[in-house]
Structure 1
Amino acid sequence: MTQQPGLDGVLGVEHIEAGPDKVVARFTIGEQHLQPFGIPHGGVYCSVHESTASSAAYIWLQERDPESVVVGTNNICDFLRQAKLGDVIDVTATPIQRGRTQQLWRVESHDQDGRLIAQGQVRLANIKPR
């Protein structure tokens, strides 16, 4: 586990780069990421994609409206290539659209050889907590 709170910590995700226009996270495929058949569980990619996009969206939104937060409203993830135990996965979130009420982020997961493993989009709502 890492020092990251919540599910990112359980999954061993570390943030490599964090800014309003891009967030890069990294994790290494371990036993905790595998489904019963011995291959990485697709839900791991979905989860890391959402948290990476959420981090980026939040950083961007805080510069504009420090009282607001972001919440995920849609997460689409395509699994393109199977990673294996020990592979290092870099997850990069970049903006497609950022507006007053919602944001859309592109997220890609590449292995240590630069091969695209999974890709998707995460839509987030900008909200003010009550």
Structure 2
Amino acid sequence: MSIWAQEIDLALCKKLDLGVGEKGTLMTKLGIEITEIGDDYLVACLPVSNELYNPMGIVHGGVYVALAETVASYAANFVVDTSKYYCVGQEINANHLKASRTGTLKAITKPVHLGGRSSVWEIKIYNSAGDLCCISRMTAAVVEKRSKGTGL
């Protein structure tokens, strides 16, 4: 049984990637893309490039966090009635377990808690070889919309 409060598909995710005014977002700048939607999970991928490196020539830790927050934020917004609410990241943590230099990073998020005021998401990020590189947890606040045009 699906946890999503609305019909979602990859085309909707692509549209959201463009942001307000369709001028682009961090997701489009970094190359983060939602690639799979399951009944209780989302998957996002990010191709590794030199622009994502830290000075030591490995993927910057902040890139893992940006990927984690992106996929969890999309998921958090998809489980609420977006005509009444939107979700924003309230807290995120990440444990970096293995360095990455090439390939594609794959982030999978699943809910830990789905509540009326917040949700908690676990995010596991893998490299192209299937090695777990980062594990993260994000808490999203569920915010009531006050006027049109706010959030999703």
TM (norm. structure 1) is: 0.90
Please say which structure displays the higher CA radius of gyration: 2
Aligned-partner Cα distance in 2 for 1:18–1:67: 23
Equivalent residue in structure 2 for 1:39, among 51, 58, 61: 58
More strand by share: 1
Confirm whether residue 28 of structure 1 aligns to residue 47 of structure 2.
yes
Deviations 1:62-115 (A, max 9, x none): 3xx63100011100001000011x221110110000000000000000111211
The aligned counterpart of 2:68 is 49
SS in 2 for 1:9: helix
* Partner Cα separation in structure 2 for residue 72 and residue 18 of structure 1: 20
Match of 1:118 among 131, 134, 138: 134
Gaps of 5+ in 2: 1-13, 19-24, 147-152
Q: CA RMSD in A?
A: 1.7
Three-state SS of the structure 2 residue aligned to 1:120 is strand
Structure 1 SS opposite 2:138? strand
Q: Aligned equivalents of 2:55 and 2:66: distance in 1? A: 18
Structure-2 separation of matches of 1:123 and 1:116: 21
Instruction: Look up the match of 2:88.
Output: 71
In structure 2, what is the equivalent of residue 96 of structure 1?
Answer: 112
Mapped partners of 1:113, 1:35: distance in 2: 21
Assess if the C-alpha contact under 8 Å between 2:46 and 2:67 holds in 1.
no
Amino acid at match of 1:9: T
**Aligned counterpart for 2:34 among listed residues 15, 26, 46:** 15
Pairwise CA distance, 1:19: 5.2
Question: Partner letter of residue 98 of structure 2?
Answer: R
Higher relative contact order (CA 8 A, sep 6+): 1
Residues 1:91 and 1:81: Cα distance change in structure 2 (over 3 Å): same
Residue equivalent to 2:10:
none
Unaligned runs of 5+ in 1: none
C-alpha separation in 1, matches of 2:128 and 2:57: 20
CA drift of 1:31 comes to: 1.2
